[in-house]
Structure 1
Amino acid sequence: MTKTVGELCKQIKGIYNLNGSADTVITGISSDSRQIEAGYLFVCISGVHVDGAAFAAQAVEKGAVAVLTTKHLDLPKSTVQIQVPDIHHALEDMVPFFYDYPGKKMRMIGVTGTNGKTTTTHIIAHILRAAGYHVGVIGTIHALIDDEELPIHNTTPDVVELQHFLALMQEKGMTHVVMEVSSHALALNRVAGIEYDTAVFTNLTQDHLDFHKTMENYVAAKAKLFQSLTPA
């Protein structure tokens, strides 16, 4: 699966500055310099403790041909730099397109709620498999492609990891995907590019208010799952 830098930039719904060739071919996307391979786009995400830009040179040494950044970096002239004001918004536009929108090609079932998401997703997956479907699961501690287990880092992974998982699931013939959708993921739009066909709500209790601040914000985040449903 490949796209050119120019094709990816055309998806950005905002301003950007391209320094380098738009014809450069991108073979993968990652924000983890340890996972970079030849032809990759390295994403310079700034976290609480680490600035991804600090690892850009290492990523280029490992084969990255382009970087997505908020500032111009001191890198070899052959390295394409895509400069944007907001990394996360750019990823929401670019990454689903890079993977050809796999979340629109399988039946997507999203489960949200304070408690019971893991149990509910596995019950639904078990029922669907018993009915003869091939089912992927994305949950708290792992992702499943039928019986194949993949490690996972968040209840709902970031948009790069999530779209990668969905692309693998589509490639391996999954017809349905059942996934836990956290309020954090909905508020931060980690599920960009996915069209849900079915939404399940388990319950809502006072939790995660350190992130959402108020119950009203918490409820509004959960509601986003139902607002993203495709028309019947």
Structure 2
Amino acid sequence: MILLKDILYGVSLSAVSGNTNVMVNNVHFDSRKVGMDDVFVAIRGLSTDGHKYIKKAVELGAKAVVCEELPKLLVNGVTYLKVTNSNSALAVIAANYYSNPSKNLKLVGITGTNGKTTVSTLLYNLFKKAGFKVGLISTIKVLVNDKEYPTSHTTPDTMTINRHLFNMNEEGVEYCFMEVSSHGIHQKRSEGLHFEGAIFTNLSHDHLDYHKTFAEYRDTKKKLFDDLPKTAFALSNIDDKNGLVMLQNTKAKKYTYALKSYADYRAQILEKQFNGQLLKIDENELWSKLIGDFNAYNLLAIYATADILGLEKIETLQLISELENVDGRFQYFISKEKITAIVDYAHTPDALKNVLKTINTLRTGNENVITVVGCGGDRDKSKRPVMGHIASEMSNQAIFTSDNPRTESPSAIIEEMEAGVEPQNTKKILSVENRKQAIKAACKLAVSNDIILVAGKGHETYQETNGVRVDFDDYKEVKEALASLNK
């Protein structure tokens, strides 16, 4: 148990009813999990308001309640703490509860529309290869050295983040690389954390269902840099038009990287092949198994971060040349019929465009590019026609299908994608609602040397419809579909 007033250190309280000099057990923002002597933090969420469940939390044994609005009936023996923002309060409480674990390691946050998972995962792999004890908090997984924990959000809730960081402290982790999403920043999940530095990858069309405007989306990302201390570093891709915006108000030491602009760290692509590319970084040439301009940016960000954190440059370049693709990020294989299948997480217009641009740069022109793509339900609808346009414009054949429809009609989502297809490309599209059948159709259409891109879900091993998740792995499905062509 822990003293209530100790976990409230740094929390701005506007009213207190009761005693803060009491021992409490756990901290929860889900009333269903509350037990005897716990602290309940009432959060105003997107789908429900935690303030509705204060009475239930108290009945379950809550000794303290943190809320933005005090209930009319205050129960004797329960401490009520009024705050301006419950999310901010929870972030500080979570850090205090776990003894501020982010201060005991070097935590680096990675934000941007695309590239967060690749940069954070490859930094984890590089530092691990360099002999350090490392942690990772990403979309795909949470790693504490070699121990893996599942994750359901790009940026987990603040209690979960601090618990993982506490576990990292216990295991002697020196560096942790963490994806920081715009949702996570807006919901204060990254508040209360001590960042050693932050990396900006790029900014393009995404999450406008949540942020409403592109400016709000950009400014939310920017807050990560605005809040950095003087002791931290801020690394930004200035080939992106928002790269310098991220650095405008930061107190951290500023660094830039680019392929096209003058920057502190620069790279040049010398040669491209399907099995990798030759890069020139800091006047040194290196071969990487990761292909595409987008991966050149990712690798340059990794190199710059390693240099800023004090790794030896030549060793870093050697380690970068050994790095493998991240699951679901331009993950490819070639079948017996010499059909190339690529699975990629590209679920934004910019990401899809980058992947198809890379494919079209590498192809000879004699083979067909067949793209299987869908758009997620209950997410930004405005990108659907744009995705449909890009897929049909940049492929020889595009098959529109279901992604994670969630609570929306898959056929309605596909219709919105079809709306973006220009008249001259309508003959190039095919709509197959069932994703498994869509992948099979692409494999049947393909002949020797053709290229199949299955985009949108990448590493995900499920498909979500009306709150139910069923097993579905794009990589496994396309591999099985191509193998069945032999039979």
Whether the TM-score (by the shorter chain) exceeds 0.5 is: yes
- Give the alignment of 1:1-232 within 5 angstroms: 2=2, 4-15=3-14, 17-69=15-67, 70-72=69-71, 74=73, 76-227=75-226, 228=228, 230-231=230-231
* Cα-to-partner distance string for 1:165-198 (whole Å, 9 max, x where unaligned): 2222222322111110112222333211222223
- C-alpha change, 1:145 and 1:50, in structure 2 (3 Å) is same
Bigger-Rg structure (1/2): 2
Measured in 1, the distance between the counterparts of 2:156 and 2:72 equals 27
Q: Is the CA contact (8 Å cut-off) linking 1:196 and 1:230 kept in structure 2?
A: no
> Aligned partners of 1:105, 1:199: CA distance in 2, in Å?
17
Per-residue CA shift, 1:192-214, capped at 9, x if unaligned?
12222232222221222233333
Q: Which amino acid aligns with 1:112?
A: T
Distance in structure 1 (CA, Å) of the matches to 2:49 and 2:220: 27
- So what's the TM-score if we normalise by structure 2? 0.43
Is the alpha carbon distance of 1:175 and 1:38 closer, same or farther for their aligned partners in structure 2, counting shifts above 3 Å?
Answer: farther
Unaligned runs of 5+ in 1: none
Partners of 1:230 and 1:143 in 2: CA distance: 28
User: 1: CA distance between counterparts of 2:38 and 2:230?
Assistant: 32
Any idea what SS the aligned residue of 1:18 has?
Answer: strand
| Residue aligned with 2:16, SS | strand
> Percent of aligned positions with the same letter in both sequences?
34
**The residue matched to 2:139 in structure 1 has which SS?**
coil
SS of 1:177's equivalent in the other structure is: strand
* 2:449 alignment counterpart: none
Question: How far 1:58 sits from its partner (Å)?
Answer: 4.1
SS at match of 1:178: strand
d(CA) in 1 for partners of 2:46 and 2:191? Answer: 22
Q: C-alpha displacement at 1:62, in angstroms?
A: 4.2
Distance (Å, rounded) in 1 between the aligned partners of 2:116 and 2:95 = 24
Aligned partners of 1:57 and 1:75 also within 8 Å: no
Match of 2:70, SS state, is: coil
Return the letter of the residue paired with 1:36. V
Q: Is the 8 A contact 2:8 2:96 kept in 1?
A: no
Residue pair 1:135, 1:175 contacting (<8 A) in 2 also: yes
SS of the aligned residue for 2:109 comes to strand
- 8 Å CA contact 1:26–1:40 kept in 2: the answer is yes
Q: Which runs of 5+ in 2 are unaligned?
A: 233-487
- Describe the shift of the 1:49–1:12 C-alpha distance in structure 2 as closer, same or farther (beyond 3 A): same
The count of aligned residue pairs is 230
Give the distance between the partners of 2:28 and 2:55, measured in 1 at CA. 14
Q: Secondary structure at the match of 1:90?
A: helix
Provide the alpha-carbon RMSD of the alignment.
2.5
Q: In structure 1, the residue corresponding to 2:162 is in which secondary structure?
A: helix
- Say whether the 8 Å CA contact 1:72–1:83 is kept in structure 2: no
Measure how far apart 1:102 and its partner are: 1.2
Larger RCO (CA under 8 A, 6+ residues apart):
1
